[in-house]
């Protein structure tokens, strides 16, 4: 799958590359996603964002015009995404289950970034293999996403 990752920080590059294992063609951009930088998504199926990217209805509309079908967030929630606009354009959303804590040690932060990268790539894998079916998702218990196909669901605990 062709994707562009916005707001990439230097310490996120290696975990994302390791998790990806050259499966997906991912362009890394240090700029935040906004209306002006949305053009980097031309020819891409997915965008990968951080908690710092603010995804307004105008940005969603532009991404849809560019052919983007998926938004994967490298955060545990996406208050910053206009979910109604994404739903209107049938753009599927996914977040990661990991949550950073302000008092994490360096090694815990490293594990956190690796976990986020692994779940982000897992989301791309799921979408690429056309296994994301919303509420009827065939991998809902295994994909790691808390949101699939614009429908909020809770992960089974066990």
Give CA–CA dist 57/88, Å, rounded.
Answer: 10
The residue-averaged pLDDT of 49-58 equals: 90
Q: Which domains does the chain have, with CATH numbers?
A: 2-152 (3.40.50.720)
The residue-averaged pLDDT of 142-156 equals: 40
Q: Supply the pLDDT for residue 79.
A: 77
Give CA–CA dist 133/12, Å, rounded.
Answer: 29
Residue 91: exposure state from Cβ atoms within 10 A (0-12, 13-18, ≥19): buried
Q: Supply the pLDDT for residue 158.
A: 34
Tell me how far CA of residue 120 lies from CA of 36, 72, 79, 123, in angstroms.
24, 7, 18, 5
Asked if the model's pLDDT at residue 32 lies above 70, the reply is yes
- Look at 13 and 74; give whichever has higher pLDDT: 13
- Look at 84 and 99; give whichever has higher pLDDT: 84
Q: Which of 15-19, 73-77, 130-134, 138-142 has the highest mean pLDDT?
A: 15-19
Band (pLDDT 50/70/90 cuts) for residue 154 is very low
- Look at 150 and 114; give whichever has higher pLDDT: 114
Asked if the model's pLDDT at residue 103 lies above 80, the reply is no
């Amino acid at each position: 799958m062709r994707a562009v990752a916005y707001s990439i920080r230097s310490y996120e590059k290696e975990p994302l590359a390791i998790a990806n294992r050259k499966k997906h063609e991912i362009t890394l951009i240090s700029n935040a996603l906004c209306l002006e930088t949305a053009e980097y998504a031309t020819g891409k199926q997915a965008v990968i964002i951080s908690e710092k990217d603010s995804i307004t209805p105008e940005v969603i509309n532009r991404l849809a015009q560019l052919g983007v079908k998926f938004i994967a967030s490298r955060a545990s929630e996406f208050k910053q995404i206009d979910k109604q606009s994404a739903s209107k354009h049938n753009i599927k959303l996914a977040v990661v289950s990991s949550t950073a804590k302000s008092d994490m040690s360096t090694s815990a932060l490293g594990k956190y970034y690796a976990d986020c990268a692994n779940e982000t790539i897992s989301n791309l894998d799921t979408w690429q293999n056309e296994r994301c079916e919303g509420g009827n998702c065939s991998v809902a218990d295994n994909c790691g996403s808390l949101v699939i196909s614009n429908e909020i669901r809770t992960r089974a605990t066990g």
